[in-house]
Amino acid sequence: MEKVAVKARITGAVQGVGYPAYVARVADRLGLSGCVKNLPDGSVEAILQGDKDRVSQGDRALP
C-alpha cells in the first residue's frame, strides 16, 4: 500500500465542540497516525498519515 500524509485546516465553528477529538477518533478507527490541534484563529489543524486508501476514507468520513 502507498503511504501518504495530509495537512488540513478546518474552519468554521469547530473549536469548543469536540471537533478535534472527533477527528482523532475517526483517524484512530481508520488506523491513521498524526495530530489534531486548535489554532489561535479559531480553526483546527489536522496532520494525518497512513495508507492512501485509509486517508481517502477519512476525507469522506469527516463532515
The DSSP annotation for 18-54 comes to: THHHHHHHHHHHTT-EEEEEE-TTS-EEEEEEEEHHH
pLDDT at 59: 64
pLDDT at 23: 87
> End-to-end CA distance of the chain, in Å?
26
Tens of pLDDT, residue by residue over 19-36, are 888 888 999 999 999 999
42: pLDDT strictly greater than 70: yes
- Rounded distance, CA 39 to CA 43, Å? 5
pLDDT tier at 63 (50, 70, 90 boundaries)? low
Q: Which residue has the higher pLDDT, 58 or 32?
A: 32
Q: Which residue has the higher pLDDT, 11 or 58?
A: 11
Architecture of the domain defined by 3-61:
2-Layer Sandwich (3.30)
